[in-house]
Structure 1
Amino acid sequence: MMKAFQLSGYETDPALTEIDTPWPGAGEVLVRVASAALNPLDVKLQSGAMHGYFPLTFPTTVGTDLSGTVEALGADVTGWTVGDRIVARKPPTSGGAIAEYALVPADQLVKLPDAISFEDAAGIPTAAGTAWQALFEVADLTVGQTVLVHAGAGGVGSFAIQFARAAGARVIATASGNGIAIAERFGADVVIDHRHEDFAARVSDVDAVLDTVGGDTQVRSFDVLRVGGILASTVSPPDEAMAKAHNVRAAFVFHSSDATRLATVVKEVAGGVRVLTDRVVPLADAPDAFAYQGSGRARGKIVLRVTV
């Protein structure tokens, strides 16, 4: 038996419970989870808002992002050894990260360097992967360009600032409160306090906008792009008619698990990119951590320490 943080249905409060410990099948690896991280996606899944994209079968264990050690190997799994340190992202439809043990497809495992702690590693997969996918696979950001990153003190935004700077781009970020200092510390060239300043009045002719906010922020972001620029949103599909009217491109970043991409961002973190962590709490505090994730007040990642 093992402890797992499970949902019994949409719009129900997830709770810690005891369930059978799984065993790996062909092509799978059983991971002893050291740490797991919450994401805004977990709250959206719980609400039922993502049912059209990621339908859940209940009961389901919450969480996609985890780090830990290889506990057992399924049939036909090669290249991994019991005890290996790993980081992985599980599919949203299956979840399972916030539990003492998790089954992960062997081809989704990434080796975790000793230099990265389990807590930091858990905060990497979704946030860093989304930022990388948006900047370099969707927006094709290159050296010398300028990108506007909304919510620079968030999980995705804080990685995006660092990745863009490392790629030789100029970074303008929006933030508020103590997030202003965070965005500056993570390398933004300019930080705009969106509570007191209109970013659209200060920014113009940028090559790309990374929208992690949506709504009116997304709409007004079209005005700051240069002709031929791109708005990449992680929140909702941008209005194609507005993009055409502004003579720019627009794309919805539908983040997908990809071990090659994850290995790339893990290498970036090993090389000095920092993981912005709001708090690290024990598994027993998972219900409170989930509520805090839903409040929208977190600065960066909320990490659960599952096993020692």
Structure 2
Amino acid sequence: MRNLKGKTAFVTGGASGIGLGIAEALLDRGVRVTIADLRKDRLVEARDLLGHRGELDTTLLDVIDRDAFAAAAAQMEDRQGGCDILVNNAGVGANPKVDAVRYEDWDWVLAVNLGGVVNGIMSFMPGMLRRGSGHIVSTASMAGLLPTANNCIYAASKYAVRGLSDSLRLTLAPRGIGVSVLYPGLTQSRMLQSAENRHPQFRSDVPASAPEGGPIAMPEDAGMSARDAGEAVVEGIIANRDYIISHSEFRDELAAHFNSILADCPPAQTIDPFRLMLEEARRRETAEAERAVEALTARAD
């Protein structure tokens, strides 16, 4: 998607942190942005901060509410003719100690971090398919590429976003729709305050033995600026990047991790012919989809 001016975007979790940085970067390129967030007070703050930068709308949205998500998509279709860029950014974190983890912790994080992405795709993808164009960006995390200790719930949600997006990228490219995933490292955000927005249905009377709120106990102002992360996302949309990796400090660690995976592959062996036939058919299908991704990347629109 080379030319963003005049396009429309819907950004969940857009009133603070990375979402706000993405919204700002999109506005500066002439995109008409709708920020969706769970908190009305933060939507007001976001409008005060960014309203002068371009065409900005705000909407109150809980990403686990499928009906509300569908209504937001329908409203955008009516008012703006649809959504060109969907940014599934809303996310939460919980890191209770492993001996205190509860089903409510799993249900909350997966409902927002994975379910919110699914709900966004299901609400906005049909319109993109009808128009034969669009781009979907979902925020994962370095925790979706690299294993981390004491972070299993958050990591599970982010690895799922990665797998969903990797498959969807190949599926949607022939239909003119790009798919990218953001893998940020430490970024200035309100992730550590996410526990205060925990939905009542995911609360429990059983106390956690560790503070909830985020995968890493860092100050709110630590890490990359949200605007820099937002710039990386917009550049990734323009270039139709599969993976948007904003933090260069992970390069060596990523190389070591994926080399360790390759090292665990069994040595060359005689393979059952039927098994080989099935895998070769899958590879041909994947290669065809990858050519569609390349063609979409080269397309100027």
**TM-score, normalisation: structure 2:** 0.27
**TM-score, normalisation: structure 1:** 0.26
More strand by proportion, 1 or 2?
Answer: 1
1 or 2 for the larger relative contact order (CA 8 Å, sep ≥6)? 2
